[in-house]
Chains A and B, each alone.
Chain A
């Protein structure tokens, strides 16, 4: 397999269906399993809560909860008991999906090919490197933004926002188009940022993994093998920061956008 084929193979989804109704099964199953893992872990921890001296894992989860609720308090004006759970879910789920990027790129596809017996079976294990995932999450947030905009400001207030923002009452047609562009850009920026960062990260991992392709040459392996390990380790440590930051930004921007929807003055 050549370099280009190797990369293309890793970046192709395992799909069912055709055209518009194509389902990326690997994305759906992996993201569902990760979500189920969060729910299962939370439910299990919920049953074993200790109020006196909490154990290590409970301490860790409590610190995440504290971190998220501090961010909600900082960035969200007003009060809505739904925002913190949404923020926590987004942060944990996106982080888990991003974390799949840190598993060696060839490991899971190789195991999958071994299990299915198909040596060319596709498996793309990082759901956030699939634009469908990030867009789906962004559109969900966008639906919530529209819902709260209409709920808090009323239909009249929402239409007023379209008519008179940002250039005032003398430019109504331009204002309508401009506000529409602004609203459409919110889910786009949410989705494209996460997708772009994760896709690029995955690509760098693939390029580093390609160094291993030269191992068969012989004595050169003494140079290339340590180099691959070093580069992989370096990028892995750096990427750990990237995946956390991306999950954090997605969460915070969700809070900020929902906060704007709750702000009657906006």
Chain B
């Protein structure tokens, strides 16, 4: 690719894409389910490699479940922060 890319993000932009986080909120449900499915897929691949079926598949599905919940909490926390900031104003 010939584009001239990629100045690193400026400090004030980093980690604070407010609008972007709102759009991610729209898909919190599908992110959660995708994490669970992705857990099964990664576990299935690992099981194939290590010949341990179904232990790793179940373990990774559990990790995906935990990660999915963690992600949804992380996303919705942002919303709480924005609301409390508004109240403070």
Q: Residue-by-residue, is A172-203 near B (CB-CB < 8 Å gives 1, otherwise 0)?
A: 00100110111011101100110010000000
Contacts of B10 in A (CB 8 A): 77-78
Q: Does A75 contact B (CB under 8 A)?
A: yes
A74 contacts B60, C-beta separation under 8 Å: no
The yes or no answer to B87 lying at the interface (CB within 8 A) is no
Please, which residues of chain A bring their CB within 8 A of the CB of B5? 79-82, 151
Q: How far is the CA of A244 from the CA of B79 in the complex (A)?
A: 24
Interface-side segment among A33-41, A115-123, A247-255? A247-255
B21-57 Cβ-contact flags toward A at 8 Å (1 or 0): 0011011001101110111011000100000000000
Is residue A265 contacting chain B, with contact meaning CB distance below 8 A? yes
Residue A262 lies at the interface, judged by CB distance under 8 Å to chain B: yes
Chain B residue total in the interface (Cβ 8 A): 37
Give Cα distance in the complex from A181 to B35, angstroms. 6
CA–CA, A263 and B30, complex, Å? 23
Asked whether, in the complex, the Cβ of B60 is within 8 Å of the Cβ of A252, the reply is no
- Is A127 an interface residue when CB atoms closer than 8 A count as contact? no
CA distance A252 to B20 in the complex (A): 8
Interface size, A (range)? 35 or more
From residue A199, how far is it (CB to closest CB) to chain B in Å?
14
- Which of A76, A151, A181, A186 has the most CB atoms of chain B within a 10 A radius of its CB? A181
Instruction: Please name all residues of chain B whose beta carbon is closer than 8 Å to the beta carbon of A193 when the two chains form the complex.
Output: 27, 30
Report the minimum CB–CB distance from A47 to chain B (whole Å): 24
- Chain A residues with CB under 8 A of B70: 166
Q: Whole-angstrom distance from the CB of A263 to the nearest CB of chain B?
A: 5
The verdict on A181 contacting B13 (CB below 8 Å), with A75-B23, A82-B1, A151-B6 known, is no
> Which residues of B are found within 8 Å of A186, using beta-carbon distances?
34
Chain A nearest CB from B27 CB (Å) reads: 6
Closest to B8 in A: A264
B84 at the interface (CB under 8 A from A): no
A25 CB to nearest B CB, Å: 28
Contact between B67 and A188, CB atoms less than 8 A apart: no
Which residues from B are CB-within-8-Å of A256? 17, 20, 23-24
16 pairs from A and B in contact (CB 8 Å cutoff): A71-B19, A74-B19, A78-B8, A78-B10, A80-B5, A177-B60, A181-B35, A184-B41, A184-B42, A185-B34, A192-B34, A249-B23, A256-B23, A263-B9, A263-B14, A264-B8
Beyond A77-B10, A78-B6, A181-B39, 8 additional pairs, beta carbon < 8 A: A79-B5, A80-B5, A148-B6, A152-B6, A181-B35, A182-B67, A189-B27, A265-B14
Sort A-B residue pairs by CB-CB distance and give the 10 closest, nearest first: A77-B9, A189-B34, A75-B20, A185-B38, A77-B13, A184-B38, A78-B9, A185-B34, A188-B34, A74-B19
